[in-house]
Amino acid sequence: MNKAFLPLFYLIWSDDLLTQKEFETVRDFISKQDWISPDDKKRLLSEVDVSNPPTRELLSNWKTAIHETLKQNPKVTSLYELSTILSGKETAFSEARNSFLQLESELGILGEEVLSGFRSVQDSLTSKYDTAYGFDVSKMTEILDSDEAMIIKRVKEIISRKEFAYETTTDIAKYREKVLQWCKILADENLGNMAFPKEYGGGGNMKEYFSIMETLSFHDLSLVIKFGVQFGLWGMSVYFLGTQKHHEKYLKKIGTLEIPGCFAMTETHHGSNVKGLRTTATYNHSSQTFSIHTPSKNDQKEYIGNAAKHGQMATVFAKLIIDGKDYGVNAFIVPIRNADMTTVDGVTIDDCGHKMGLNGVDNGTIRFDNVTIPKENMLDRFASVNENGAFESPIPSDDRRFFTMLGTLVGGRIGIPRSGLSAMKSGLTIAIRYSDRRRQFGPEGGSEVPILNYRMHQRRLMPYLAKSYALHFALRYLTDRFLKRTENEMQEIEALAAGMKAYTTWTVRDGLQECREAMGGKGYLSENRIDALKNDTEIYTTFEGDNTVLMQLVAKNRLSVFRKEFGKLDVAGMITYVFENAKTAVAEKNPIITRRTDEAHLLDVDFHLQAFQYREKTILASAARRLKKLIDSGMDAYDAFNVTQHQMIDVATAYLERVILEQFQKSIIATEDVACKKRLEQLRNLFALYQIEVHKGWYLEDGYMENAKTKAIRKLVNQLCWDIRIDAVPLVDAFAIPENCLGAEILKG
């Protein structure tokens, strides 16, 4: 009979969730059992005496006895059943069934769970699961690279050369020189000037320039940013804001890196609000020159890449002053260093010093003390000073002219998210491959399990894998729109670029954070590169426009579009608007459908698209109404926009997510390979449902979904993470990042 208590006794002495209190519970129980003889009671009680523990051997014998019994009775399903068998099926014990079950309850143990712990489980679902190669990885790579495959391949070949071995020094002076050398190699390969016109030695191919930025971003990100400053910002500002005389004089030398240069827009006190720049360019009639001047310390140019060390010239943005009159911000080419690399008279350059990341880029501050430049140095595509010293421009409004100038430079807001996405792809490749190999924990008695088999681990990484695919296609779409833009589309495309820049770089920030944590200590060692990927891309959320500010811009654009499109509509029209292009959305508000939870429905891309569209339109209309209401109530428009700032982020997010999902779906439709298509569909499903889950508070608040539905979606997201895990390694393999670029020690050998 004694043996019936073995499992309980074993548990109480070994389970670390049971405390001393439970010894009392068991002792009480034994004392109260009438069917146990006084002698047996005494013996039993002595075995649960906290001051007199069994020997380690005895405990071990108990365990062996339990194991043996379970081996001989594989069909046992409850702790009580096990105990009954151990008791030799003693009648008295059998009769004590209820009180025994009650004891189990009071101890807070779940018999079936305990039993499963006693068994050696070699083949649990979790431990059996593993990576499979169910589709052709190279086909998937083809789908991703599409018509950019050739240039991508060429760039990969270059950054895989031994000269591109990573620099690991912490000496930023050395690092900066290395990055400059790399840039020179790329210039020599005619990659830097890819977007410049052919007549100035360039490739005349803007599309390939973006592919280059993206592919370079599998390598060192300081290199990418230095490259972008030189050829994208400095070069393109001369190209887009200047005229033929500037192109002839500078473009070739910029493309060969003979003239390293800067893009000097941001000032210490004016970053996002560039309209408020304070540097001045004062026209001198007599000498036909401009004096470039920094009024005070806070007006110095700051964070300027290429400034601290290598830059010789700069495109400087400054307010043009003629005869004391301010003509708004214009751009000027200003030499900052002489041939011997000393600074030009009147120019003061300081080093921004060590940064969180991108330490291979020499950011600096620049101050001008009435530095004189010739009149022809004004980049005069949009405005000029004529022979009589009078201002001329085809765009009469200073603000509008400046925004038009900025509009020509929107390419940066395409290059940066594409670069950031590459960094996230690198991080995901490292983290997913590592998690597929690294084993820890496992079923009792079984071997350890790849950590990627754990549901939380999947929950951390799979949604970002899905997002990386989603964003890949959306950024290709953005690029395409930009390359084929017409005048009338410019505002939409500028807003889309601003939004995609913000949305992507925030996603990259979060995705790399998950990669870091998912890799534990290994993710903290610089040798595994998550460090650099994270810290280098950290500033992506700030430069080329602070994300929060950009999202406000996107929202303002959406509001403007909304008002223009629906200026004619009344309230009824507004409602129609919300449901336009989402014809079944009205039906969705039908209780039967707001509650629909079957997989066929939840995995239907039309359902996803409708849900995204509905959210986009409802939020937009609601923000417009709120703003109008506040202003109508007498609130200053500036204050009203401030009050609704938070809502504006939602307006922009909902819009961007709809675009991303739409483009993902379009790419899937165009995919022919069946196996690849299936994986892309799964990723799209995860992207869509994960975002709906993120916004479930909104959907429930709105009534578009009921709780049964949001609960079903959560379950399905978990299931999709589990399903995609099997393909996760081939899915990151498809990014086809050169092994030497991944560079993580943990993946070697």
Give the binding range for a second copy (CB under 8 A) out of 133-141, 225-233, 482-490, 651-659: 482-490
Whole-angstrom distance, CA of residue 315 vs CA of residue 333: 5
Give the binding range for a second copy (CB under 8 A) out of 86-94, 226-234, 517-525, 596-604: 517-525
Closer residue to a second copy (CB): 142 or 693:
693
Pick the binder of a second copy from 94, 138, 581, 645 (CB under 8 A). Answer: 645
Whole-angstrom distance, CA of residue 493 vs CA of residue 495: 5
- Determine, following the binding rule CB under 8 A, whether residue 516 of this chain makes contact with a second copy: yes
Q: How far is the CB of 749 from a second copy (least distance, A)?
A: 10
Closer residue to a second copy (CB): 587 or 643:
643
Closer residue to a second copy (CB): 22 or 727:
22
What value, to the nearest 5°, has the Cα angle with vertex 327 and ends 326 and 330?
120
Bridge partners of residue 326, in order along the sequence: 321
Give the binding range for a second copy (CB under 8 A) out of 111-119, 133-141, 207-215, 255-263: 111-119
Closer residue to a second copy (CB): 109 or 251:
109
- Determine, following the binding rule CB under 8 A, whether residue 526 of this chain makes contact with a second copy: yes
Give the binding range for a second copy (CB under 8 A) out of 141-149, 466-474, 628-636, 680-688: 628-636
Residues 700-739 that bind a second copy (CB under 8 A): 700-703, 707, 710-711, 718
Closer residue to a second copy (CB): 324 or 394:
394
Report yes or no: 421 and 504 within 8 Å, Cβ to Cβ: yes
Residues 1-60 that bind a second copy (CB under 8 A): 13-22, 53-56, 58-59
Map residues 596-625 to x or -, x wherever contact with a second copy holds by CB under 8 A: ------------------------------
Give the binding range for a second copy (CB under 8 A) out of 65-73, 118-126, 415-423, 657-665: 118-126
- Determine, following the binding rule CB under 8 A, whether residue 635 of this chain makes contact with a second copy: yes
CA distances to 137, 332, 742 from 154, in Å: 20, 35, 17
Residues 250-309 that bind a second copy (CB under 8 A): 266, 269-273, 276, 302-303
Whole-angstrom distance, CA of residue 576 vs CA of residue 578: 5
CA distances to 563, 594, 653 from 640, in Å: 17, 34, 20
Closer residue to a second copy (CB): 112 or 480:
112
- Phi (first) and psi of residue 559, to 5 degrees: -65, -40
Residues 312-371 that bind a second copy (CB under 8 A): 327, 352-357
- Determine, following the binding rule CB under 8 A, whether residue 168 of this chain makes contact with a second copy: yes
- Determine, following the binding rule CB under 8 A, whether residue 642 of this chain makes contact with a second copy: yes
- Determine, following the binding rule CB under 8 A, whether residue 61 of this chain makes contact with a second copy: no
Name the DSSP class of 506.
Answer: H
- Determine, following the binding rule CB under 8 A, whether residue 165 of this chain makes contact with a second copy: no
CA distances to 45, 54, 603 from 82, in Å: 21, 22, 44
Q: Quickly tell me which residue has 């305990």 as its tokens.
A: 114
Cα distance between the two ends of the chain: 57
226: nearest Cα among 266, 258, 259, 262: 262
Whole-angstrom distance, CA of residue 706 vs CA of residue 710: 7
- The enclosing H or E element of 126 equals helix 125-128
Closer residue to a second copy (CB): 88 or 108:
108
Q: Quickly tell me which residue has 């191919």 as its tokens.
A: 205
Residues 541-600 that bind a second copy (CB under 8 A): 541-543, 546-548, 552, 556-557, 559-565, 567-568
Q: How far is the CB of 112 from a second copy (least distance, A)?
A: 4
Closer residue to a second copy (CB): 81 or 702:
702
CA distances to 52, 97, 437, 565 from 511, in Å: 53, 53, 20, 36
Q: How far is the CB of 266 from a second copy (least distance, A)?
A: 7
Q: Quickly tell me which residue has 């003889």 as its tokens.
A: 37
Whole-angstrom distance, CA of residue 373 vs CA of residue 332: 9
Q: Locate 349 and state its tokens.
A: 């350059």
Bridge partners of residue 372, in order along the sequence: 291
Pick the binder of a second copy from 30, 70, 109, 144 (CB under 8 A). Answer: 109
DSSP, collapsed to helix, strand or coil, labels residue 284 as strand
- Determine, following the binding rule CB under 8 A, whether residue 400 of this chain makes contact with a second copy: yes
Task: Using CB under 8 A, count the residues that bind a second copy.
Answer: 144
User: Positive or negative CA dihedral for 580, 583, 588, 589?
Assistant: positive
Pick the binder of a second copy from 163, 369, 639, 739 (CB under 8 A). Answer: 639
- Determine, following the binding rule CB under 8 A, whether residue 135 of this chain makes contact with a second copy: no
Pick the binder of a second copy from 65, 149, 525, 586 (CB under 8 A). Answer: 525
Whole-angstrom distance, CA of residue 706 vs CA of residue 36: 55
Helices 412-437 & 707-733 angle (0-180, nearest 10): 90
- Determine, following the binding rule CB under 8 A, whether residue 491 of this chain makes contact with a second copy: yes
Q: How far is the CB of 455 from a second copy (least distance, A)?
A: 4
Q: Locate 648 and state its tokens.
A: 């504006």
Report yes or no: 536 and 423 within 8 Å, Cβ to Cβ: yes
Residues 200-239 that bind a second copy (CB under 8 A): none
Whole-angstrom distance, CA of residue 721 vs CA of residue 690: 10
- Determine, following the binding rule CB under 8 A, whether residue 513 of this chain makes contact with a second copy: yes
DSSP, collapsed to helix, strand or coil, labels residue 315 as strand
Give the binding range for a second copy (CB under 8 A) out of 92-100, 213-221, 332-340, 530-538: 530-538
Pick the binder of a second copy from 41, 45, 81, 116 (CB under 8 A). Answer: 116
Whole-angstrom distance, CA of residue 558 vs CA of residue 577: 14
Closer residue to a second copy (CB): 29 or 209:
29
Q: How far is the CB of 690 from a second copy (least distance, A)?
A: 12
Kindly give the pairing relationship between strand 325-335 and strand 313-322. antiparallel
Whole-angstrom distance, CA of residue 403 vs CA of residue 329: 10
Q: How far is the CB of 649 from a second copy (least distance, A)?
A: 7
